Chain A
Amino acid sequence: MAFDRFIAFPEGFEFTLLVWSPNEPGRTLPPFPHWYWDRSSPEIPPDVIRLGVTYPDGRRATNLNWLADVQGLNREGPVLYPLDEAGWQPHWEQEYWVGPSPPPGPVSLVVEWPAHHIAETSVELDGAAIHVAAAEADVVWS
Chain B
Amino acid sequence: MGTFFDSFPSPDPLPPPRPLLPWQGPAELTFGGFVPLRAVLVDTESVLVVVDRLLAHPTGLEFTVLVARRHASDDLADPLDWGQHRGNGGLDPPAEVLRLGIAYVDGRKASSLARPPHWEEENPKDPVLVMRSGHGSRGRWEKQYWLWPLPPEGPTGFVVHWPAEGVDEWRVDVDGAAIHAAADQALALGDG
Contact = CB atoms under 8 A, between A and B. Distances in A.
Interface string A85-121: 1101111010000000000000000000000000000
B142 A84 contact: yes
A84 B133 contact: yes
Contacts of A20: 28-29, 190
A139 to B, nearest CB: 11
Contacts of B138: none
Interface in B1-27: 13-14, 16-17
A20 B20 CA distance: 14
B40 A140 contact: yes
Interface string B111-141: 0000000000000000000001111000000
A71 B53 CA distance: 27
B133 A141 contact: no
Contacts, number: 37
Contacts of A25: 13-14, 16
A25 B53 CA distance: 32
A141 B48 contact: yes
Interface string B36-50: 001010010000101
Contacts of B70: 141
Contacts of A141: 48, 68, 70
B17 A88 contact: yes
Given A2-B31, A20-B29, A84 B144 contact: yes
A4 interface: yes
Contact of A84 (B13, B55, B134): B134
A68 to B, nearest CB: 21
Contacts of B72: none
Interface of B: 13-14, 16-17, 28-29, 31, 38, 40, 43, 48, 50, 53, 55, 68, 70, 132-135, 142, 144, 189-190
- 8 A-B pairs closest in CB distance: A86-B133, A4-B31, A84-B135, A91-B28, A20-B29, A84-B133, A86-B132, A140-B48
Given A25-B13, A141-B70, 12 more contacts: A2-B189, A5-B53, A5-B55, A25-B16, A84-B133, A86-B132, A86-B144, A138-B38, A140-B40, A140-B43, A140-B48, A140-B50
